[in-house]
Amino acid sequence: MIAALALLGGSVAGYLIPGEHVEGFAPGPPEAPDFTPGSPEAPDFALTEEEKATALHIIESDAHLREILQNADWHVKLIGPITEGLQKIGVSVFITFDRAVWMEDTFSTYYPSGYSYVAKLWVGSMDIFVDLGDGRIVGLTPNMGRAPITSPITSSITSEEHAAAAEIALSHPLAKALGENVEAYLNAVYYYNDDYPQGIAFFNMRSDQGEAFVAIDLDKMVIVEQYTTSIVL
């Protein structure tokens, strides 16, 4: 599964994004004890068809998620159990979109030890976590997709901020290594902790020689190296 930003570890819609450890954040379900398959003690974590159908019904019935996904063509790619110790406590559903969709909302990481954050971004896929016991969605994590040529820039940062941040992004060695005619496309703005009160803007740097992500602290207008990386396509 893919996560975003400080939450961010792994590959994002074909992109390789760096991550950092977040206190109290579990990037995936806890590992089950090492049982011998088929032994009497071995728990069965496999989802039944009824559990899968219930999870999808909860997703399709959730008013907030329905609003977020109203302009998107999405497909379920993976569905599996969430476990805690010896118990199966929920369902993880991974969906993809036919094309990147712009979203602005408050999202949340994997429960129960995750947290909420605000993001405005082009989304290529999403992880949805469903609690079957409570019958509700308990985690919603969007994963960055590739920004199209045009972005709703003014809904995230002002045109002046965008121009200044893009110029700084273009000065980074990774951008310069892409040769001439490099373009900077705003891919996302995340507001996820007090270290970045104005958010972090992610610029997708593109040329015919490749791509890179350059992250800009919009408060200090400096490059955030830990989130700046080449893109593995």
Q: 226: domain CATH number?
A: 3.10.450
* Residue 32 confidence (pLDDT): 45
214/107 same-domain check: no
126/20 same-domain check: yes
Rounded-to-integer distance, Cα 46 and Cα 183, Å: 46
128/13 same-domain check: yes
End-of-domain residue from the set 144, 171, 197: 144
121/103 same-domain check: yes
What is the torsional sign of CA 137, 10, 190, 72? negative
- Write down the residue that tokens 């002046």 correspond to: 160
End-of-domain residue from the set 106, 125, 144: 144
Residues sharing a CB contact under 8 Å with residue 225, sequence separation 6 or more, in sequence order:
none
Q: Is 85 left (phi over 0), alpha (psi -120 to 50) or beta?
A: left
pLDDT in tens, the chain (233 residues): 333 333 333 333 333 333 333 333 333 444 444 555 555 566 778 899 999 999 999 999 999 898 888 878 899 999 999 888 888 889 999 999 998 988 888 898 775 667 788 999 999 999 999 998 899 999 999 999 888 866 665 566 888 888 999 999 999 999 999 999 999 999 999 987 778 888 999 999 999 999 999 999 999 999 999 999 998 77
30/88 same-domain check: yes
Show the domain range for 20: 5-144
Rounded-to-integer distance, Cα 14 and Cα 48, Å: 31
- Write down the residue that tokens 């110029």 correspond to: 167
End-of-domain residue from the set 124, 144, 164: 144
15/93 same-domain check: yes
Helix H or strand E encompassing 137: strand 136-144
122/170 same-domain check: no
158/137 same-domain check: no
108/199 same-domain check: no
200/87 same-domain check: no
49/160 same-domain check: no
Rounded-to-integer distance, Cα 58 and Cα 137, Å: 7
Rounded-to-integer distance, Cα 54 and Cα 200, Å: 37
Give the closest residue to 120 by CA, choosing from 141, 136, 104, 100.
104
Q: How many domains does the chain have?
A: 2
Are 43 and 32 in contact, with CB atoms under 8 Å apart?
Answer: yes
| Contacts by 215-219, CB closer than 8 A, 24 or more apart | 216/165, 216/168, 216/169, 218/157, 218/161, 218/165, 218/189
Residue count (the chain): 233
- Write down the residue that tokens 């992880």 correspond to: 127
- By DSSP bridging, strand 116-131 and strand 87-108 are antiparallel
**Any idea what the CATH number is for the domain that residue 61 is in?**
3.10.450.40
209/110 same-domain check: no
Give the closest residue to 181 by CA, choosing from 159, 209, 151, 146.
209
